[in-house]
């Protein structure tokens, strides 16, 4: 009964490739997020969607394109991968948008760009 799931868990790919990471939540939440955690563990928000609508886009290169086909899914597509994209990417969800809600995180996808 995984609440927030991501696939794949590990992704190793060459520079210049295009890849996608998928996220699904079965909690019935309205809001979903993508975070990037670098090698120093700094966790930075990238995007947030509320009911399939983009509400946060934090100065992320346009090589990164989120897509939310429905409120239970938020996928992340990355074009022309670069070495600096290597990180762990976390998906999260919360019941509503706004700062009073707990966020539920997925297990992460470790992306390594060679």
Partner 1 sequence: SQQGEEDPQALSIQEGENATMNCSYKTSINNLQWYRQNSGRGLVHLILIRSNEREKHSGRLRVTLDTSKKSSSLLITASRAADTASYFCATAISGGSYIPTFGRGTSLIVHP
Q: Does 100 bind partner 1 (CB under 8 A)?
A: yes
Contacts of 56 (CB under 8 A, 6+ apart): 33, 45, 47, 48
Minimum distance from CB of 103 to partner 1 (Å)?
A: 7
The piece of 11-19, 33-41, 60-68, 75-83 that touches partner 1 (CB under 8 A) is: 33-41
Degrees, nearest 5: CA angle 70-51-11: 55
Residue 72 vs 108, nearer CB to partner 1: 108
The rounded distance, in Å, linking the Cα atoms of 88 and 75 is: 15
**Chain residues that interact with partner 1, rule: CB under 8 A:** 4, 33, 35, 40-45, 55-56, 58, 90, 92, 97-100, 102-108
């Amino acid at each position: 009964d995984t609440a927030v799931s991501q696939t794949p868990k590990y992704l190793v790919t060459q520079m210049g490739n295009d890849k996608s990471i998928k996220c699904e939540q079965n909690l019935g939440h309205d809001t979903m997020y993508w975070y990037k955690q670098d090698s120093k563990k700094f966790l930075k928000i990238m995007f947030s969607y509320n009911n399939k609508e983009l509400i946060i886009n934090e100065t992320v290169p346009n090589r990164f394109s989120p897509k939310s086909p429905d409120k239970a899914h938020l996928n992340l597509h990355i074009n022309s991968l670069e070495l600096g994209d290597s990180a762990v990417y976390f998906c999260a969800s919360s019941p509503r948008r706004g700062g009073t809600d707990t966020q539920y995180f997925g297990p992460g996808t470790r992306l390594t760009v060679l």
